[in-house]
Amino acid sequence: MSTVNLIRDPRTNRGTAEATESRVNNKLYGLIPTVVESLEQQVTRCLEQVRSKSTDLERYIYLSNLRNSNVTLFYRLLMDNFEELVPIVYTPTVGEACVKFSHIYNPANCDGLYISIKDKGNVAKVLDNWPYEAPDITVITDGSRILGLGDLGINGMGIPIGKLSLYIGAAGINPIRTLPITLDLGTNTQKHLEDPLYIGLRQNRPEDPEFFEFLDEVMDALSAKWPNLIIQHEDFSGVHAFALLERQRNKYSMFNDDVQGTGAVILSGLINAFRESGVPLKDHRILFLGAGSAGVGVASQIRDHFVKAGNMSIDEARDHFWLVDTKGLVTFDRGDQLAQHKTIFARKDNNGQQFKDLESTLEYVKPTCLIGLSTQGGVFTPKIIGRMAELNKKPIIFPLSNPLKNSECTYEAAMQNSECRVLFASGTMFPPYTDPASQKVYYPGQGNNMYVFPGIGLGAILAQASVISDDMIYTSSVALANTLTEEEKSAGLLYPRLARIREVSTMIAAEVMKEAVKEGVAKNKEVVDLVNANDEAKLISYIQSKQYNPAY
């Protein structure tokens, strides 16, 4: 093999940082400009280039090509400029990139695996084509519910790539051992089927029996080939997300990020918001708009917290939740066949009354806390926010749908209609708000599962967890809430500053590892011994010693 591959392979390419001697020895001399640069100099140039682009989508494309030409440089750039670049490589820009994925797709890039329903029966052979070393973690989607953007088919690939970039940047997973996968089962979105540049199968999605057979084959093949692989399900449509979790969670080391990761991150923000609100746990009344994978996942996680921290029975805890979907308040007697996951929180104390929309349900419930996971931008109107502010001294309002245009309200609207009293977190980051009267600047929270999934995955990888249990997820949530510093608390933040994400992910991973050991699901003997030695500092430095740091 020609040594020119050293600069063609993104995992070995150093570009202008290649030393002169190495250029001579590897017959690269003359192929690179004369200068020998440091990684820092390269980062400076790339940052200038990113900033010179006129749109975020152009920045996304630039960064995607950089990742495909020099992995070390891309991750150094990302990590050194995390707050600036996360909104480009991840939510919200990744949403636009997915919608246009077939158009911005660079046919020269090799970003992950595409496994199509036509490979049914041969999935193991497709996995054999993965040319790199055994992955530690995969993020896998079927593109059926990408953010709040619907069924994007194969275009959903931007999501596994984006999530894994955060695993690498935020938690320090080695990029060489990550695997983005998109399952191409077709799409039910006509626009994509008719798009001449669409890069996926031009057919509708299969019926459920074929879907589940295929998903079982994929999961079997993945865990047979890579027995320690951690598998993250992402952006599967709601009903499938729950069904796959139920079916596969005790068999593989897997979790669903939209159900469980979101549950953990929102509970964490709420633990801090409940404290700030001054209202005791037992008096909180929580109203959800949206009863899908995220809505029910989040409600379940908070319910379990009420049981554990509020000393309630599961039935008492469940009474604190009201869920609204497209048909109104979810009740047992409203006359439609409820999907299995909705029955968990369906009300039976409504005395035959049905509430058809958010406004009337809000009057009926008088909530302390309003959570949006509905995909519907702007539905928390000024009137709804104002009413929450009348009902509560410190109303808790979390519009969590992604990307930005799907957010149930903006931070500005929440502040303007609550006299700046709102306790707020959104799925996509909003800019700070300056109160015109006082000129005081307020900072919003970002309730996005990116605060927990990197730590959950890292902990599970290092422990070699055979399954990912409910308590491992719950632990990640409490651990995240506990990472808030006194300074962050006094600034009114519900989540730690993004700049501390590495430290935060490390602390979450440590708690996840401890829980895995406690439950006897950790296969890594070294970690079992380390956790049993009860030396926090040693555990943290063990994790740090395993983390990837981009350098030549």
Ligand X SMILES: NC(=O)c1ccc[n+]([C@@H]2O[C@H](COP(=O)([O-])OP(=O)(O)OC[C@H]3O[C@@H](n4cnc5c(N)ncnc54)[C@H](O)[C@@H]3O)[C@@H](O)[C@H]2O)c1
Contact by Cβ (8 Å): 426, 406? no
Q: Per residue in 501-520, is it b (16+ CB within 10 Å) or e — as a string?
A: bbebbbbbbbbbbbbbbeee
Omega within 30 of 0 (cis) for the link into 92? yes
From 248, 449, 476, 483, residue interacting with ligand LMR (rule: CB under 6 A): 449
142 in contact with ligand LMR (CB under 6 A): no
151 in contact with Mg ion (CB under 5 A): no
From residue 351 to residue 390, what is the string marking binding to ligand LMR with x (rule CB under 6 A)?
----------------------------------------
User: Which is nearer to ligand LMR, 119 or 258 (by Cβ)?
Assistant: 258
Choose among Mg ion, ligand LMR, ligand X, none what residue 85 binds, the Cβ cut-off being 5 to 8 Å by kind. none
User: Which is nearer to ligand X, 189 or 466 (by Cβ)?
Assistant: 189
142 in contact with Mg ion (CB under 5 A): no
The binding site for ligand X (CB under 6 A) comprises 145, 147-148, 238, 258, 262, 265, 289-295, 324-326, 373-376, 400-402, 406, 427, 447-449
Contact by Cβ (8 Å): 258, 309? no
Helices (H), ranges, 311-357:
314-318, 340-343
235 in contact with ligand LMR (CB under 6 A): yes
Active-site residue among 60, 90, 198, 411?
90
Shortest separation between residue 257's beta carbon and ligand LMR, angstroms: 5
CA separation for the pair 264, 384 (Å, rounded): 26
Shortest separation between residue 70's beta carbon and ligand LMR, angstroms: 25
From residue 60 to residue 99, what is the string marking binding to ligand LMR with x (rule CB under 6 A)?
-------------------------------x--------
The yes-or-no answer on residue 163 being catalytic is: yes
Contact by Cβ (8 Å): 527, 512? no
Tell me whether residue 258 is annotated as binding. Answer: yes
Longest Cα pair distance anywhere in the chain, in angstroms?
A: 83
From residue 399 to residue 438, what is the string marking binding to ligand LMR with x (rule CB under 6 A)?
---x------------------------x-----------
Tell me whether residue 402 is annotated as binding. Answer: yes
Tell me whether residue 13 is annotated as binding. Answer: no
Active-site residue among 60, 75, 105, 163?
163
The yes-or-no answer on residue 356 being catalytic is: no
Using CB under 5 A, which of the segments 41-49, 204-212, 253-261, 426-434 binds Mg ion?
A: 253-261
Kindly report each contact of residues 337-345 with a partner whose C-beta sits within 8 Å and lies 24 or more positions away, as own/partner: 339/238, 339/239, 340/239, 340/242, 341/238, 341/239, 341/242, 341/291, 341/293, 341/296, 342/291, 342/296, 344/296, 344/299, 344/300, 344/318, 345/291, 345/296, 345/299, 345/318, 345/321
Instruction: Give the C-alpha distances (Å, rounded to integers) separating 369 from 283, 382, 397.
Output: 11, 16, 6
Tell me whether residue 247 is annotated as binding. Answer: no
Tell me whether residue 234 is annotated as binding. Answer: yes
Strands of 396-399's sheet in order across: 328-329, 321-325, 286-289, 369-372, 396-399, 423-426, 445-446
From 448, 464, 466, 524, residue interacting with ligand LMR (rule: CB under 6 A): 448
Report which secondary-structure segment, H or E, holds 148: none
Report helix, strand or coil for 411.
helix
Closest CA to 3 of 23, 32, 30, 33: 23
Shortest separation between residue 147's beta carbon and ligand LMR, angstroms: 4
Write out the two tokens for 150: 């619907």
Tell me whether residue 207 is annotated as binding. Answer: no
Residues near ligand LMR (CB under 6 A): 91, 147, 235, 257-258, 402, 427, 448-449
> Which residues belong to the annotated binding site?
145, 234-235, 258, 402, 448
Residues near Mg ion (CB under 5 A): 235, 258
Active site residues: 90, 163
